[in-house]
Amino acid sequence: MALALMLKVNNVFIFVALLFIAMFCCYSDGELQEQSIAKVLSCFENNRIYSQCNEAYRLNPSGNINIPLQATDSFCSGPCLSETRLVLNCINDMLSNFVFYNKATAKQMRNALDAGCSFSRERGQH
């Protein structure tokens, strides 16, 4: 009887251990990270976010915003600035530690936008 009880306890212990292993294997950090990156990339293609900004002036996953100096006023006072900020919010909501291909963070991109659209000597320079 004691041996049978011990076997049942061991079986329960093994079952619980296998359950935990299965849970951690199915949801590894790498898989969750890949899912988060896919969600971040969808921010750049979201037509509800980027709807009016000229495609040539949009932020891309590499971290580039190619705005010619003569288009600074149009970018900063038109829909592009606010839509780009919405993309950065979307990125931050999906993956707060996302780093663009150029090694910039969303916060650094936001700071560059603020400086580039400010009315200081830095306007159009970032």
- For residue range 12-35, list pLDDT tens digits in order: 445 444 434 444 444 445 555 667
pLDDT of the residue at 125: 60
Please answer whether residues 45 and 84 qualify as being in contact, where contact means their C-beta atoms are separated by less than 8 angstroms: no
Q: Could you tell me if residue 69 is inside a domain?
A: yes
Containing structural domain, residue 52: 36-126
Kindly report the pTM of this predicted structure: 0.69
The number of CA neighbours under 13 Å toward the Cβ of 119 is 1
Q: Could you tell me if residue 29 is inside a domain?
A: no
Q: Rounded distance, CA 101 to CA 6, Å?
A: 56
Q: Could you tell me if residue 49 is inside a domain?
A: yes
Q: Tell me the pLDDT tens digit for each residue of 57-77.
A: 999 999 999 999 999 999 999
Q: Could you tell me if residue 18 is inside a domain?
A: no
Q: Could you tell me if residue 65 is inside a domain?
A: yes
